[in-house]
Amino acid sequence: TVGRKEDHEEPSEVEGPAFAGVVFNRPLDTVFTYRVPTRLRGRLQPGHRVKAPLGRGNAAAIGYVVSTAEETHLDARRLKEIIELVDDVPLIDTTMLDLTRWMAGYYLCSWGQALDAVVPAGVKKQAGTRLRSLLTLTETGRALAERLQVREALANDQPPPTHRPRRRGSGPSTSIIDTSSSHQTTSEDPLLKVTPKQAAALLTLAGSNEPLSLVDLCRLAECGASAIAALKKSGYLAVVMRRGDTLGPSSEGDKVVVPPPSPDPPANPVSRPLLTPEQTATLEAMAPRLESGGFATFLLHGVTGSGKTEVYLSAIERVVARGREAIVLVPEISLTPQTIRRFRRRFDRVAVLHSHLGDAERHRHWRDIASGAIQVVVGARSAIFAPTRKLGLIVIDEEHETTFKQETVPRYHARDVAVKRGQLEGVPVILGSATPSLESWRNAQLGRYTYLEMSNRVESRPLPPVTIIDMRHEKPEPGRAPGGLSAPLRDAMRRALNDDGQVILLLNRRGFHTYIHCPRCGFVLKCDSCDVALTHHKTRGKVVCHTCDAERDPPPICPECQGGRLSYMGIGTERLEREVKAEFGDRVVRRMDSDTMRSSASYEQVLNSFKEGKIDILLGTQMIAKGLDFPNVTLVGVINADTALHLPDFRARERTFQLVAQVAGRTGRGQREGRVLVQTYSPDDPAIVHASMHDYVHFVEQELPERSIRGYPPYGRIVRLVARGPEEQVVRGFLEQVLEAIRRRAVPGVASMGPAPAPVAKIRDLYRYHAQLRADTAKPLHEALRWVVGEITPPSGVELAIDVDPVSM
């Protein structure tokens, strides 16, 4: 191989750094220095993955080269040597190295852990780049297939097919490496010799534009492998080697790669609407950064339906026009065909990164992006690491969404990583929301972000009037679920439906009954493995744990006192669906929650039917609350606005405000006016009152002082520690030790609370304790906690999670 040849070269000719700093995907806060073997010098670069011996056993581990050096202050003879390169080209560029180093420092993990999270699994595996052997017709095979086609056509009494020119398997882009050697020649007409199965295989290949794999060919032709083997032996079929994607590493030499067809329809610039004055003003405010680059963060606060997406599209157009690329992050749930179409209609080369991508597809996108072939990357959280070449803009839509926070190591927030990336690459970042996070709002107040407001809906559509229904005064009616459809909501639904409008109902709880207890002894039916109440799912006939998904049969009597009959309480989406169907029997009702929407296909299908007016009432969990744009929705009903209001989380109110404001924004988006009814048991809560008036600013002004008094974000920073393990005493003892060690360090300005049982004290048989550290800024927290990375070894079975800027408590 190439490597061996270089081994024989004289050392004096060797160029390139002799030492490399390598980090590993382990909780080790160290950059390890290795010697670079002669054969790799000059080839190895920062960003390469390498195999290197690690630890006492010297087992080979895969790590990332983060630096190279000509010299080291360490004793070079004692250093271990890198074994080999894993990839031909570096996977990570220098900006990404900087970004991941920042992440490791900020989110308190190791650099290797941060790097490993940035590169998708499919890229690490080089998925889809393996050469596959495919079958194609040889010249004689094609001639025979054409004769077979004629024979078939005559047998069916149809005109024989005219001979279209076909793409040959032996064209310049594919090399035939295995033509059969035993080419048979016989005096007998081959047409008479082929069996029906062989004929089917030949015809299938003749009808396919592409070479086919053995498996596909057998399936399509309904023949066995022996028929194919016989055809190969007779010289009718040849094997070609091919890659699944365009940009394979060049090291494959002469085995040429065939690009798959591009699925994007051509972009159509005609579909661009005339911008509203607010949209124009917003764009103009950003114009200098869009046109000549430079870092800035814009907080685009635009009410629902104000045309934020249109602003993003126009902003992207400006950077694309000067050959730059854009990354757009949206919550996974908003990656609907509707959203994707809006981008595809405006740009030719769009890559969509969602969580359903297979490894090979993800790898292909990664390399398309890295090669500069993509203009716009649209994706969920991890798309912030897209390896663009000439980034010009980052957009985070719905920047307040908690799904931008990753809940495994590294526990990063994609919005904050985006701002950092924008800073490192010198490009503008747009954060858009109708209900900005208080963190972003505060950053705008402090002048770190430029605040841009769009307070009107396009075409001067009004925001829908919201009516609060005080459920404390709604009398329970016989035969109806308490807390279900109130009389005013039923009336409003009837009116909306009679006017040919569509209705959206939000209930952020799935299942039928949400609570099962024994009125005699007070027992509450809980999961065996988790500290959570079970939910009754009537269609499945089971009680289910929403935390670990375990399900079982409902017990016939109270398992505690063995006498009481269990009482089933509460209302989830399943029960609401039944209520609505009973009430509006002649209407088409669909439920949308994670029980009914098991696949993204069913989700898309329901959204399409709703759009086409084939569904009258769409009800569901928060899945239906966000981002949807259906002009014919004239009524939104919130069944219980309080589901998140009393959670032990200082952001409970902010979340409630956001959810109600967002779902209210789903109506009145077209020519027709909309209205919203909000059922609540807390009609005076500021979150509900202000959301009902679409009054973000007053909500914030009310909420901020409370945060300030308690030192909570956005005024202070929080790090949450969660320890979990199978033995409660051990978990608590360990977290106590960690906290003690932290307190002994006595970093000024750091306050600590805990440990205490976590709000959900047990999940999947693991006990959970948590603690909280608070400070006015991030720096002292980092100082108090940095040493924990790599230095703390929890007892066996126990894990410690360090969550910087947690979004849920």
Q: Is 109 a known ligand-binding residue? A: no
Q: How far lies 635's CA from each of 282, 469, 655, in Å?
A: 30, 14, 22
Per CB under 6 A, does 307 bind ligand ADP? yes
* The entry of ligand ADP, Zn ion, none that residue 545 binds, CB within 5 to 8 Å by partner kind: Zn ion
Per CB under 5 A, does 542 bind Zn ion? no
Identified binder of Zn ion from the candidate list 50, 65, 493, 527, rule CB under 5 A: 527
Reduced to 3 DSSP states, what percent helix, strand and coil does the chain have, rounded to the nearest 5? Answer: 35, 20, 45
Per CB under 6 A, does 574 bind ligand ADP? no
Measured in whole angstroms, the distance separating CA 239 from the mean position of its chain's CA atoms is 38
Q: How far apart are CA 24 and CA 40, in angstroms?
A: 19
The residue among 310 and 368 lying less far from ligand ADP, judged by its C-beta, is 310
Quick one: which of 232, 227, 212, 228 has its CA closest to 169?
A: 212
Per CB under 5 A, does 548 bind Zn ion? yes
Per CB under 6 A, does 276 bind ligand ADP? yes
Least distance CB 311 / ligand ADP (angstroms): 7
The residue among 62 and 548 lying less far from Zn ion, judged by its C-beta, is 548
Bridge-based pairing state of the strands 466-470 and 617-620: unpaired
Per CB under 5 A, does 534 bind Zn ion? no
HEC string of 130-169 equals CCEEEEEECHHHHHHHHHHHHHHHHHCCCCCCCCCCCCCC
- The crossing angle, in degrees rounded to 10, of helices 225-233 and 196-207 is 80
Specify which residues 633 forms β-bridges with. Answer: 502
Q: Which stretch binds ligand ADP (CB under 6 A): 30-38, 304-312, 638-646, 792-800?
A: 304-312
Q: Is 186 helix (H, G, I), strand (E, B) or coil?
A: coil
Least distance CB 662 / ligand ADP (angstroms): 10
Per CB under 5 A, does 529 bind Zn ion? yes
Binding-site residue total for ligand ADP (CB under 6 A)? 16
The residue among 424 and 458 lying less far from ligand ADP, judged by its C-beta, is 458
- Could you count the other beta carbons within 10 Å of the beta carbon of residue 4? 8
Identified binder of ligand ADP from the candidate list 149, 306, 508, 643, rule CB under 6 A: 306
Per CB under 6 A, does 642 bind ligand ADP? no
The residue among 172 and 277 lying less far from ligand ADP, judged by its C-beta, is 277
- Establish how many alpha carbons lie within 13 A of residue 683's alpha carbon, considering only the half-sphere containing its beta carbon: 12
Q: How far apart are CA 360 and CA 734, in angstroms?
A: 42
Measured in whole angstroms, the distance separating CA 481 from the mean position of its chain's CA atoms is 36
Identified binder of ligand ADP from the candidate list 128, 141, 244, 302, rule CB under 6 A: 302
Q: How far lies 33's CA from each of 28, 53, 74, 99, in Å?
A: 14, 11, 8, 21
Identified binder of ligand ADP from the candidate list 122, 141, 305, 754, rule CB under 6 A: 305
Q: How far apart are CA 435 and CA 748, in angstroms?
A: 35
Q: How far apart are CA 395 and CA 429, in angstroms?
A: 6
Per CB under 6 A, does 474 bind ligand ADP? no
Q: Which stretch binds Zn ion (CB under 5 A): 260-268, 390-398, 523-531, 671-679?
A: 523-531
Looking at residues 425 to 464 of the shown chain, list those that interact with ligand ADP (rule: CB under 6 A): 458
Q: How far apart are CA 183 and CA 234, in angstroms?
A: 6
How deeply is 192 buried, as exposed, middle or buried, from its count of CB atoms within 10 A (0-12, 13-18, 19+)? Answer: exposed
The residue among 196 and 759 lying less far from Zn ion, judged by its C-beta, is 759
How deeply is 42 buried, as exposed, middle or buried, from its count of CB atoms within 10 A (0-12, 13-18, 19+)? Answer: middle
The residue among 304 and 486 lying less far from ligand ADP, judged by its C-beta, is 304
Sign of the Cα pseudo-torsion (767, 773, 779, 780, in order): negative
Identified binder of Zn ion from the candidate list 72, 450, 547, 752, rule CB under 5 A: 547
**Any idea what the Cα angle at residue 228 is, between residues 223 and 230, rounded to 5°?**
120
The residue among 240 and 315 lying less far from ligand ADP, judged by its C-beta, is 315
Per CB under 5 A, does 492 bind Zn ion? no
Least distance CB 529 / Zn ion (angstroms): 5
Measured in whole angstroms, the distance separating CA 662 from the mean position of its chain's CA atoms is 20
The residue among 146 and 399 lying less far from ligand ADP, judged by its C-beta, is 399
Least distance CB 637 / ligand ADP (angstroms): 20
Least distance CB 646 / Zn ion (angstroms): 21
Specify which residues 53 forms β-bridges with. Answer: 60
250 neighbors 144 (Cβ within 8 angstroms): no
Q: Is 223 a known ligand-binding residue? A: no
**Any idea what the Cα angle at residue 504 is, between residues 503 and 507, rounded to 5°?**
140
* The entry of Zn ion, ligand ADP, none that residue 547 binds, CB within 5 to 8 Å by partner kind: Zn ion
Least distance CB 308 / ligand ADP (angstroms): 3
432 neighbors 468 (Cβ within 8 angstroms): no
Q: Which stretch binds Zn ion (CB under 5 A): 169-177, 218-226, 310-318, 519-527?
A: 519-527
Least distance CB 309 / ligand ADP (angstroms): 3
Q: Which two tokens stand for residue 57?
A: 């056993």
The residue among 398 and 474 lying less far from ligand ADP, judged by its C-beta, is 398
325 neighbors 392 (Cβ within 8 angstroms): yes
* The entry of ligand ADP, Zn ion, none that residue 273 binds, CB within 5 to 8 Å by partner kind: ligand ADP
Least distance CB 527 / Zn ion (angstroms): 3
Identified binder of ligand ADP from the candidate list 100, 113, 174, 304, rule CB under 6 A: 304
Quick one: which of 25, 60, 20, 23 has its CA closest to 44?
A: 20
Q: How far apart are CA 15 and CA 7, in angstroms?
A: 13
The residue among 25 and 276 lying less far from ligand ADP, judged by its C-beta, is 276
Q: Which stretch binds ligand ADP (CB under 6 A): 300-308, 529-537, 553-561, 775-783?
A: 300-308
* The entry of ligand ADP, Zn ion, none that residue 302 binds, CB within 5 to 8 Å by partner kind: ligand ADP
Least distance CB 725 / Zn ion (angstroms): 17
* The entry of ligand ADP, Zn ion, none that residue 527 binds, CB within 5 to 8 Å by partner kind: Zn ion
Per CB under 6 A, does 308 bind ligand ADP? yes
Looking at residues 366 to 425 of the shown chain, list those that interact with ligand ADP (rule: CB under 6 A): none
Per CB under 5 A, does 545 bind Zn ion? yes
Per CB under 6 A, does 169 bind ligand ADP? no
The residue among 30 and 547 lying less far from Zn ion, judged by its C-beta, is 547
* The entry of Zn ion, ligand ADP, none that residue 305 binds, CB within 5 to 8 Å by partner kind: ligand ADP
Identified binder of ligand ADP from the candidate list 176, 239, 256, 275, rule CB under 6 A: 275
Looking at residues 655 to 684 of the shown chain, list those that interact with ligand ADP (rule: CB under 6 A): 669
Least distance CB 663 / ligand ADP (angstroms): 13
Q: Is 218 a known ligand-binding residue? A: no
Q: How far apart are CA 176 and CA 308, in angstroms?
A: 52
Identified binder of ligand ADP from the candidate list 55, 161, 273, 288, rule CB under 6 A: 273
Q: Is 427 helix (H, G, I), strand (E, B) or coil?
A: coil
* DSSP calls for 677-724: EEEES-TT-HHHHHHHTT-HHHHHHHHHHHHHHHT-TTTSEEEEEEEE
Least distance CB 341 / Zn ion (angstroms): 39
- The crossing angle, in degrees rounded to 10, of helices 94-107 and 414-425 is 140
H-only helix segments in 30-107: 94-107
Annotated binding site for Zn(2+): 518, 521, 527, 530, 545, 548, 558, 561
Chain positions contacting Zn ion, by CB under 5 A:
527, 529-530, 545, 547-548, 550
Chain positions contacting ligand ADP, by CB under 6 A:
273-276, 279, 302, 304-310, 458, 629, 669
Annotated binding site: 518, 521, 527, 530, 545, 548, 558, 561
